[in-house]
């Protein structure tokens, strides 16, 4: 019989703060009541702050980030439109597959899993597209499968330097609320997020940031859609309502999670993720193991994809951690299955939680046959946390 808590160190869903959990424990309420907007309207403003946009629009689709992906595509593009997409991990691959299934003409740039977005190649292909046949460029900001964060600002520069008018789509599911993201500064046209990662909520909300340019493109889009229609959503959202049943409990939770982020300060949230991720990486280095990310400039501050020794099966590490130590780590996806395990380090997280993850990872690796000295990684992370600049991540919440 297992005792104590089950430790969750996957890159989503993440741990839900107790204050957020309690705020969702409310009676059902009338989603058509005249005061429903008192709950919801402030959420649009709060997410815009997290996305760092004054110009963009925000929509909440009951569902997941995948649903928001589909909403972004079906409202702004047409069947047969050419789009440029890079494939360098599991989630960028899934986005390519969705675009193909929605009858887009997908021009794919295939690069190694562990690399970042191929900016030079994107620029080259945009430069030779004299007739602006490419209608959109798709980029996965943080590829969760490989622990790689790509430079979105450089993609925007590639578009601008080639005087290209393509829409810029960004998958920000595992970056929004945890990593630096600047929708207005980078002129992102559509950014997708989900509730279950940096926003510290259960899954159930697909979140979409939409530029005015994207809304203009939506006027000429003739893709089939119903549930995900922008017009229906915007018409109802302006007064704080939805064209169908909204997830009211998640909205209560989102209000609290946005209060937590605001109390800590978004810059401090980003710095905390950086600091905790560096501690994790110091441990991985002390183990003598490598990350999937090809270069330190690509290291993600929300998830580390760790290559196990070639004589160890990563699936054994995952099984031992779960069965023996009540702990979930992320599995290796696609071609990385059995070769990699992942530690998610995002959301409601602190030094003690990171050290717990590393302690259990060490024990699981050793029990799976890895030649690692117990305490090596934990000690390296402890030293980093003790000697690095501390970010004050404390917050207080007024009683609701």
Written as one string, the DSSP assignment of 62-87 is ES-HHHHHHHHHHHH--TT-EEEEEE
Written out in words, the top-level CATH class of the domain with range 7-13+266-387 is alpha beta
Compute the residue count for the chain: 400
Instruction: Report DSSP state, residue 54.
Output: S
| 25-37 tens-digit pLDDT | 999 999 999 999 9
Mean pLDDT across 236-254: 96
pLDDT category at 222 given cuts 50, 70, 90 is very high
18-262 has which CATH code? 3.40.640.10
Q: Please check the confidence at residue 391 and state whether its pLDDT lies above 80.
A: no
Strands (E), 228-386: 290-291, 303-307, 327-331, 340-344
Q: What proportion of the chain, given as a percentage, has pLDDT over 90? A: 96
Neighbour tally for 35: CB within 10 Å? 9
* Three-state secondary structure call for residue 284: helix
Q: How many angstroms separate the CA atoms of 340 and 114, rounded?
A: 12
User: Which pLDDT tens digit goes with each residue over 264-306?
Assistant: 999 999 999 999 999 999 999 999 999 999 999 999 999 999 9
Which pLDDT does position 2 carry in this prediction? Answer: 79
Which of 191-195, 341-345, 392-396 is the least confident region? Answer: 392-396
For the chain, the C-alpha Rg in angstroms (whole number) is 21
d(CA 44, CA 34): 18
Token pair recorded at residue 387 = 């000697």
| Residue 71 pLDDT | 98
Q: Give the whole-angstrom CA distance, residue 342 versus residue 80.
A: 37
Average pLDDT of the residues in 121-134: 97
> Mean pLDDT throughout 82-106?
97
Cα–Cα distance list, 51 to 130, 163, 181, 234, 346 (Å): 32, 25, 6, 18, 17
Confidence category of residue 366, pLDDT binned at 50, 70, 90: very high
Q: Is the pLDDT of residue 394 over 60?
A: no
Residues 6+ apart with CB under 8 A from 227: 61, 244
What pLDDT band is residue 207 in, cutting at 50, 70 and 90?
very high
Distance, CA of 169 to CA of 210 (rounded, Å): 10
Asked whether the predicted pLDDT for residue 250 surpasses 80, the reply is yes
- Give residue for tokens 């939680």: 353
Mean pLDDT of 104-111: 98
- With beta carbons less than 8 A apart as the criterion, state whether 89 and 98 touch: no
Closest Cα to residue 177, out of 233, 259, 240, 282? 259
DSSP annotation of 346 reads -
**Percent of the chain, pLDDT > 70?**
97
- When the pLDDT of each residue in the chain is averaged and rounded to a whole number, the result is 96
> Is pLDDT at 180 greater than 90 in this prediction?
yes
As annotated, the residues of the chain forming the CATH 3.90.1150.10 domain(s) are 7-13+266-387
Give the residue from 18, 20, 71 showing the smallest Cα distance to 243: 71
Are 308 and 288 contacting, i.e. CB atoms less than 8 angstroms apart? no
Instruction: Please tell me the predicted confidence (pLDDT) of residue 400.
Output: 36
Residue 231 · residue 210 · CB < 8 Å: no
pLDDT at 396 over 90: no
pLDDT (mean) for 354-377: 98
- Which pTM does this prediction carry? 0.95
Quick one: pLDDT at residue 390?
59
SS3 163: coil
Provide the pLDDT for residue 175: 98
pLDDT of residue 88: 95
Nearest Cα to 134, choosing from 112, 98, 94, 162?
Answer: 162
Kindly indicate the confidence band of residue 116, based on its pLDDT and cuts at 50, 70 and 90. Answer: very high
Q: What are the start and end residues of each CATH 3.40.640.10 domain in the chain?
A: 18-262
């Amino acid at each position: 019989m297992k005792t104590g808590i089950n430790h969750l160190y996957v890159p989503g869903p993440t741990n839900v703060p107790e204050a957020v959990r309690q705020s969702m424990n409310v009676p059902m309420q009338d989603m058509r009541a005249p005061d429903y907007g008192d709950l919801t309207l402030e959420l649009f403003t709060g997410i815009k702050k997290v996305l760092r946009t004054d110009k963009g629009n925000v929509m909440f689709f009951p569902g997941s980030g995948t649903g928001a992906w589909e909403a972004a595509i079906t409202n702004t593009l047409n069947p047969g439109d050419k789009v440029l997409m890079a494939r360098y991990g599991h989630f960028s691959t899934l986005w390519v597959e969705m675009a193909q299934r929605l009858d887009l003409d997908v021009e794919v740039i295939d690069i190694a899993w562990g690399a970042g977005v191929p900016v030079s190649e994107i620029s080259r292909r945009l430069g030779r597209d004299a007739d602006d046949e490419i209608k959109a460029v798709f980029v996965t900001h943080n590829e969760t499968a490989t622990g790689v964060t790509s430079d979105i600002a450089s993609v925007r520069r590639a578009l601008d330097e080639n005087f290209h008018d393509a829409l810029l789509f960004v998958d920000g599911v595992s970056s929004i609320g945890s990593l630096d993201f600047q929708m207005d500064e980078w002129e992102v046209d559509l950014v997708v997020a989900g509730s279950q990662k940096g926003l510290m909520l259960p899954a159930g909300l697909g979140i979409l940031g939409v530029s005015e340019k994207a809304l203009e493109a939506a006027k000429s889009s003739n893709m089939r859609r119903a549930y995900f229609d922008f017009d229906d959503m915007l018409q109802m959202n302006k007064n704080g309502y939805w064209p169908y049943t909204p997830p009211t409990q998640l909205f209560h939770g989102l209000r609290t999670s946005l209060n937590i982020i605001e109390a800590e300060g978004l810059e401090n949230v980003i710095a905390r993720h950086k600091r905790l991720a560096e501690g994790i990486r110091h441990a991985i280095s002390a183990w003598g193991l490598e990350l999937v990310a090809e270069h330190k400039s690509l290291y993600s501050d929300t998830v580390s994809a760790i290559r196990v020794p070639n004589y160890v099966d990563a699936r054994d590490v995952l099984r031992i951690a779960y069965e023996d130590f009540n702990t979930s780590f992320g599995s290796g996806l696609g071609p990385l299955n059995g070769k990699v395990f992942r530690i998610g380090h995002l959301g409601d997280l602190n030094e003690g939680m990171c050290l717990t993850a590393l302690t259990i990872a060490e024990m699981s690796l050793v029990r799976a046959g890895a030649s690692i000295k117990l305490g090596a990684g934990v000690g390296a992370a402890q030293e980093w946390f003790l000697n690095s600049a501390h970010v004050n991540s404390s917050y207080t919440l007024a009683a609701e």
